[in-house]
Every structure is written in structure tokens, then in C-alpha cells.
A and B are shown apart, each in its own frame.
Chain A
Amino acid sequence: MNEKYLVFEVYHDHIKLVSKGKWILETIRHIENILQSIPSDKKIIWDVSGVSEFDSAGILLFIEYLNYFEAQSKVKVTGYTSKQKEMYDLLKKQHKSKKTIHAYQESTLERIGKKTIHIYDDTKEMLRFFGELFSNLFYTILHPKEFRYKEMVYHIYHSGFSALMIVAITTFLVGMVIAYQGSVQLAKFGADIFIVDTVGISIVRELGPMITAIVIAGRSGSAYTAEIGAMKITEEISAMRTMGFDPYSFLVLPRIVALMIALPLLIFFADIVGIFGGMFASRMQLGISIEQFVNRLYEVLEVKHYILGMIKGPVFAFLIAAVGCFRGFQVSQNTESIGLHTTQSVVNSIFLVIAFDALFSVIYTELDL
């Protein structure tokens, strides 16, 4: 079928190329394939009189290969129409002035360099963000009247209260899973009742805070980034600045404080629901009655475990909200960057939550808590 566009015959001292049919966007892919297969060591006579239709892509292809052939040997073009010549001249000018830009291949070293600079810039921006944040925080502590209580309440509702359901379901399931898995092992030793210790302590100390924080990072951290990012794109942040409203005290602080209040409360709630989950599974699997469970829980679950778990709440909340806002401010003037930064915000905050959880574990162990 390619015969339709281009045929060539090789003679002993020259090659005859005959173009015909449509040289347009839809066909040039086929034509280029044939052109590539043409040997260019002999003089070429290129007859274009058979071309019935052409567009700028067709002519560009022609120019491209004409240049290529000319570089190797002599070329003679015959049979072009005046219209073709006009378009040829127009495109030829552009073609000369702008060399074809070859896809630029970055070297490894260059990539490392760029990445390093990116990390350096990112760090600088982060330091700036936290600098502004803390100066604002201290100012607000000294001038508590200027704190945006209304916004804070709004965010407590949206990041805290509205998340109750999802936090409940998640931790209930986690509590159940722990109890199921534990009971299989403990039943082997006939130590059924120890399931209460396992569930109670692991939920309250570790899983409750961590699972809740991860859910909230995915839910509110991402929302903060997207909200602030969108405001940046529509220049609402600039507008705020020109009106004398500082975005840190209007947008960042209320969100951070709201989450620092809401997350511990959510963790408290998650602890209870998680233990319920464990209780439910123990009853199904091991036949431990609710009364037995509660009595045992009362004996083994010291208040200290509960407090140690709770302390993590405000820290996780600060990390999630601060990262969410920080990434939001990094959004630049295009919509794609909202998605990019939202993803980054969630990944960062979940990582930070897990890393800080590990840090807490080390500290607690070192302190024999």
C-alpha cells in the first residue's frame, strides 16, 4: 500500500524517486519509513509532480529528507507546482533558522545535580515556612485575641467530627484483626485471656494513634494541600496579602491548631472502638465474655499506656497539618501541580507519622516506659 505515496527505482548512476498521492499528516508516517530505506550514495532525481495533496507536515518531511540527501550527494527536484514552492519557501526559512531540536538526553551527573539543587531549594522553602509559622505562632500566643477561632472551629468540625465514621470503621477492623490473629497463637498455649493484654496495649499505645493519624493524613492533609493550592492558583492568596490578611494566621494556624485538638480526641475515640473490635473478635473466637474481657482489661491496661499513646496525637497532628499547608503553598501556577503536591503531601505526612512513631517507641523504651 505504500506504493501509493512513494516509489523509487535504482539505476546504475542515479536513483529515481517518484512522490505521489497524499503527503499529509495521516500518511507521512508510512512515507518516512520508505524514505529511510532509500540508499543515498548516488545522485537522486526526485519527481514530485504526482503529489495530489500536501500540507505543512508533508512539505516538512520533504525538506528534512532533501537536506539529508543533499548532504550525501546531488539531488535534483522536478515537477513541483507553484503552490508547493510557496509553502516550501515559507517552511524552508523556519527550518533554517531553527535547527531541529534533538531530544536532549540528561546525563546521570546532571540529574544528580538537578536533584540536589531541588532538595536544597525544597529545604530552604521548608525552613522559611517553619520560620514564618513559628513567628506567627508566637505572635498569636502573645495576642490571643487575633487568633481565628471561627476558622479553627470550622476545621475541627471538618477534619475531626466528620472523620469519626471512617476512623471508627478502620480501628474496629484493626482491633478485630489483632484479636483474631492473636487468639490463634494464644489458644495453642491455652493462654486465651492474654488476648486482652495484646489487644488493649497494642491498640492504645501504638495502633490507635498511628492508624488514626494515617487516616487523617490521607483525609485532611491532602485536603489542606488542595485547598491552599487552589487558592494560590486563583490568586486568592495574593489577594489576601494585598488586603492585609496574613495567610499564615488566616489559613495555616487555624488548620494546625484545629488538627492538634481534633486528632487526640479522635485517637481517644479510636482506642475505644478498637478495643471493642478486639472484644467482639475474642468473644467470637475464644468465647471470652464481655465481662471477663473488661475485668481483665481493667487489671492490665495501665493509664500510662493510654497517656503514652495520647501524647503522640498533637505531634502527629502538627506534622500532618504543617506538611499539608506547606505543600499547598508550593503549588505553582498550573493545575497539574495541585495533584503533584497533594500526592507528595500525603506521602510525606504518612512517612513522617510512621517515622515519629518509631522515634516515640525508641524514646519510650529508653525511658523504660
Chain B
Amino acid sequence: MSVIEAKDIITKFDTRTIHDHVNFSINENEIYAIIGESGSGKSVLMKEMIMLASPTAGHINILGQNLQHITPRKAQELRRNWGVLFQFGALFSSLTIAENIELQLKEYTNISKKMRDKLVYSKLELVGLESYAGKLYPSELSGGMIKRAALARALAMDPKLLFLDEPTSGLDPIGARNFDQLIVNLRDLLGITVVMITHDLDSMFSIVDRMAVLADKHVVAEGTLENVLQSQHPFVEAFFKNEYTKQRFKGKIKDVQ
């Protein structure tokens, strides 16, 4: 069953076309990556999926709702079903990490303060942060900790869908692999569907189930790594089949060819 379906998305800024008939669909419980060059419109596509922007034309269906014709009430309901990790965290700088995570629980549920605290600290633990981090402000955290804290906030309401914009960029290699593992665990544990924008080859080769390659304003290849590697598109060739990747991921790439 597909959780997200995008049909013929067209996006224009002034006269510049960013997307020209973009199509893809994301299945339940999979880790789906959107890849492509810088400036190919990945972040814009994500913004359109989370209703921060709307495409010039086309349809996006998420959890059975058509975003183009959604009522404010339904939209609000939908928002509670997803968590978003922004590229730079976007934590509320005037609140502590614990308050950041607690915010939605406080707004949308009537569970007790004690219970909320417990939930907050369980989320912190889930993403691998020490509990003292809860008392700090975002400006007092390192880049990697911010990513983790933002992930904890995105998970606060136990969403069905998780959107991640470049989750591993700016992390050290070990941290990045741990983060990948964390995402897999979350998917397995909580049964969520993960949509992520990434440039990280390691993530693509290890944790991603399916992916869409955005180039020349549309999706030039979609599917599992094997499917994508069959594409002859110049971007795919350059991205996956250069000397470095051939060396690094010898086994995987050879399997396909």
C-alpha cells in the first residue's frame, strides 16, 4: 500500500521550472530516499509534501488525503501524523530541549506533567542523548546533538511518517552510521515510514529500501538500488558508477552488472 503518492508535480518559481511532471510513490514501512544534485529541488519537493509549499500543478496524496483539496481540520490531523527533521534542526531556540520535545504533547494531549516528562526522557534515550541534554538550550548543543534532539522532537507524537532532510550531513562518519542504525531501528520498532533526502552513499547502500533520483526536473529512476543502478541516465552514471564508488561498494555494484 502506498502511503505517499505524487502525481505529475510541476513547480515553478517565476519562470524557472524546478519540477516538470515528477511522479513517485512511497510504500508503508519503507525507508525511501530522494536523491539528486544540489539544486535539483529535493527540499522543495519535501516542503510540498509537508504542506509548507504547494506545487504549481499536480497532486500529492498522503495517508489517503489529497493535499490539494484538504480541509484545515484534516490538514491539522495529518500534521499530527508526521514528524519532520529539518536540515538544521529548527529547534525552538527559546525553549530547552526537553520543552521542545514536550511542546506537542502539551498542546495536543492531556496527559499529566509527570507522564510527559517520562515520555520526553524516553525519547531522549531513544535517540541516544544523555538526559542532562534535556535541560540545555539548542545553542548549547553540538551539531550532532542538535540532529538527535530534533529527531526526538519529530518522534514526540509517535508519528506514522518521518521526513528527514539530510539527516547524516554534518555528522562524523561514526555518528552518521549510528544515526542510520537508529533510523532502521525506529522503522522496525515503531513501524513508521521514513522519507529522507540524502547525499550519503553509505546510507543509500545500507539502509534505504527504495529511492527516487531527481534530475533534469523529473524522476529519472525509481526503485531499489538494483533498479536504479540499471538506469543509463548521466547523473546515475556519474553518481553511482564512478571509480570511487566502484571501489568502495565493489560487491554491491558488481552484483547488479
Contacts and interface: CB of A to CB of B under 8 A. Distances in A.
B90 A239 contact: yes
Interface stretch (A62-70, A230-238, A274-282, A338-346): A230-238
Given A234-B93, A243-B79, 19 more contacts: A235-B86, A235-B90, A236-B90, A236-B91, A236-B92, A238-B47, A239-B86, A239-B92, A241-B52, A242-B50, A242-B52, A242-B82, A243-B84, A243-B103, A243-B104, A244-B79, A244-B104, A245-B103, A245-B107
Nearest to B165: A235
B76 A239 contact: no
Contacts of A239: 84, 86, 90-92
Nearest to A241: B52
Interface of A: 230-231, 234-236, 238-239, 241-245
- If over half of A's interface residues share one DSSP class (helix, strand or loop), that class is named, otherwise mixed; here it is helix
Interface string B87-108: 0101111000000000110011
A65 B41 CA distance: 42
A331 B20 CA distance: 29
A241 B54 CA distance: 14
A238 B93 contact: no
B201 interface: no
24 contacts: A230-B93, A234-B88, A234-B90, A234-B93, A235-B88, A235-B90, A236-B91, A236-B92, A238-B86, A238-B90, A239-B84, A239-B91, A241-B51, A241-B52, A242-B51, A242-B52, A243-B79, A243-B84, A243-B104, A244-B79, A244-B80, A244-B104, A244-B108, A245-B107
Contacts of A231: 93
A224 to B, nearest CB: 14
Nearest to A235: B90
A242 B79 contact: yes
Nearest to B107: A245
Given A242-B52, A243-B103, A236 B88 contact: no
A234 B87 CA distance: 10
A242 B103 CA distance: 13
A230 B139 CA distance: 14
Place the interface of chain B in its size category: 10 to 19
A245 B80 CA distance: 10
B79 A238 contact: no
A242 B153 CA distance: 12
Given A244-B79, A244-B80, A238 B52 contact: yes
Contacts of B92: 236, 239
A230 B93 CA distance: 10
A238 B93 CA distance: 14
Interface string B20-57: 00000000000000000000000000010011100000
Nearest to A139: B72
A247 to B, nearest CB: 12
Nearest to A230: B93
The 7 closest A-B pairs by CB, nearest first: A244-B79, A235-B90, A239-B90, A242-B84, A242-B50, A235-B86, A244-B76
Nearest to A237: B90
A91 B82 CA distance: 51
Contacts of B104: 243-244
A346 to B, nearest CB: 22
B38 to A, nearest CB: 16
Contacts of B86: 235, 238-239
Contacts of B51: 241-242
A241 B79 CA distance: 9
A238 B107 CA distance: 17
A204 B90 CA distance: 46
A147 to B, nearest CB: 13
Nearest to B104: A243
Contacts of B76: 244
Contacts of A241: 51-52
Contacts of A243: 79, 84, 103-104
A241 B104 CA distance: 12
A245 B47 CA distance: 16
Nearest to A238: B52
Contacts of B50: 242
B215 to A, nearest CB: 24
A72 to B, nearest CB: 41
Nearest to A234: B90
Nearest to B156: A243
Nearest to B53: A238
A235 B92 CA distance: 9
A241 B52 CA distance: 7
